[in-house]
Amino acid sequence: MTRWFEKVKNDPSNIVSSRVRLSRNWEEYKFPSRLDEDEARYMVGQMTQELKNLKETDGRRYECRTLEKMEELDRMELRERRLLNKTLMEKTTPGSIIYSEDEAVSLVLNGDDHIRLQVLAPGLRLKECYEEADRLDDYINEKFPYAFSSKYGYLTSYPTNVGTGMKASVVVHLPSLSTSKRFQELLGDMSRFGTTVRGVYGRGSENSGDLYEIYNQKTLGVNEQEIMELVSNVAVQLSGQEREVREASLAKHRLLREDEVYKSYGVLKYARKLSMKEAMTFLSHLRAGIADGLVETKEFVSIYNIMIGIQPANLQKYSRQPLGKDELEVARGRYIREHLPELK
């Protein structure tokens, strides 16, 4: 089964992925932070049992895993693939994660809230993500009536999620725009629109890979359609400005851009060891070069998929053995050589 991130294109849109996440709570129980261990375990057991036939709703195959029984490396791997966040990765109280074989759909039970439903997709597809999430949300709500207020909407553990309980986000690739002097000012403008923009793999200049996630700040006083339109508009605006900067760069410095891309490819193709920062930087250059038509590959290989594969936990799982820092850099170089597409 091909996972969703293996389908992320290296195209000029600069838009990597879309995500819709819904936070919900079963009205019969207190919020997770106030449940004792026995209550939490019983509740998770009930939900897991009722959701075992989830595949009948969409034909997907699902796997269910108990968070407290998972090894730390397994949790880290799921975090790197955006199925768990930092809080859930470190969770020690009863909880489970149910996710589809393609990892596009996942439910975390008894995390920050009783249910966190998430749908991911390549490209700008917030509408499709929401439609899928909404359909599953209705299915789950039939089994577990949600905590809901006619005045405030869905009730959640964090006030910042009350209302729709929905976070919509889009990841964009901004290798040129992020180096401009106005970039931080630009991010401030996006904040005034009601969105937050953060680096996916670090902050500011330390954001290896130049990937940025845009998501809504407000969930109360706005509906789902307004949230999706807001996040989509900001993503399209940033993507458009990125294209303008790159087109101007190509017009004035095409040879320098070609040199940067081919050098990056050469290092990725032949390096025997690579740090995370080096690998993500060169992969970012390569992705931009493919999108701009500076290089062409013989077959489609998602550069974003390679970026996921070289993350520490995923790399150790792929290597099937514990790896120290130097061994990780050697394994990273090997992984990239094995997965990098050939150029025409």
At residue 217, does pLDDT exceed 60? yes
Range of the domain at 274: 249-339
When mean pLDDT is compared across 84-88, 212-216, 288-292, the lowest value belongs to: 84-88
When mean pLDDT is compared across 33-37, 190-194, 225-229, the lowest value belongs to: 190-194
Residue 30, pLDDT score: 95
At residue 204, does pLDDT exceed 60? no
Which residue type is seen at 199?
Answer: G
> Is 276 among the domain residues?
yes
When mean pLDDT is compared across 8-12, 22-26, 181-185, 211-215, the lowest value belongs to: 181-185
Residue 91, pLDDT score: 82
- Residue that wins the pLDDT comparison between 304 and 189: 304
> Is 11 among the domain residues?
no
Residue 201, pLDDT score: 76
Distance between CA atoms of residues 172 and 43, nearest Å:
38
Residue 92, pLDDT score: 83
User: What average pLDDT score do residues 101-122 get?
Assistant: 97
Q: How far is CA 11 from CA 18, 57, 264, 289, 301, in A?
A: 15, 32, 18, 10, 12
> Is 121 among the domain residues?
no
Question: If pLDDT is split at 50, 70 and 90, which confidence band does 185 have?
Answer: confident
Question: If pLDDT is split at 50, 70 and 90, which confidence band does 203 have?
Answer: low
At residue 1, does pLDDT exceed 80? no
Looking at every residue in the chain, the average pLDDT score rounds to 94
Question: If pLDDT is split at 50, 70 and 90, which confidence band does 74 have?
Answer: very high
pLDDT in tens, 123-143: 999 999 999 999 999 999 999
Q: How far is CA 86 from CA 25, 71, 82, 170, 328, in A?
A: 20, 15, 10, 19, 22
User: What average pLDDT score do residues 234-262 get?
Assistant: 96
Residue 202, pLDDT score: 60
Residue 207, pLDDT score: 75
Q: Would you state the torsion angle of the CA atoms of residues 242, 245, 248, 253, taken in this order, to the nearest 10 degrees? A: -100
> Is 137 among the domain residues?
no
Distance of CA 64 to the CA centre of its chain: 20
Highest mean pLDDT among 25-29, 68-72, 202-206: 25-29
Report angle CA 108, 51, 55 to the nearest 5 degrees. 100
> Is 8 among the domain residues?
no
- Give 8's contacts (C-beta < 8 A, 6+ positions apart): 16, 17, 122, 123, 302, 303, 304, 305
Residue 181, pLDDT score: 85
The answer to whether residues 219 and 167 touch, using CB atoms and an 8 Å cutoff, is yes
The answer to whether residues 235 and 170 touch, using CB atoms and an 8 Å cutoff, is yes
> Is 75 among the domain residues?
no
Radius of gyration of the chain (CA): 21
**Which DSSP symbol is given to 25?**
-
> Is 110 among the domain residues?
no
User: What average pLDDT score do residues 102-118 get?
Assistant: 96
The answer to whether residues 83 and 64 touch, using CB atoms and an 8 Å cutoff, is no
How many domains, in total, are found in the chain? 1
User: What average pLDDT score do residues 224-248 get?
Assistant: 96
pLDDT in tens, 287-338: 999 999 999 999 999 999 999 999 999 999 999 888 888 999 999 999 999 9
> Is 6 among the domain residues?
no
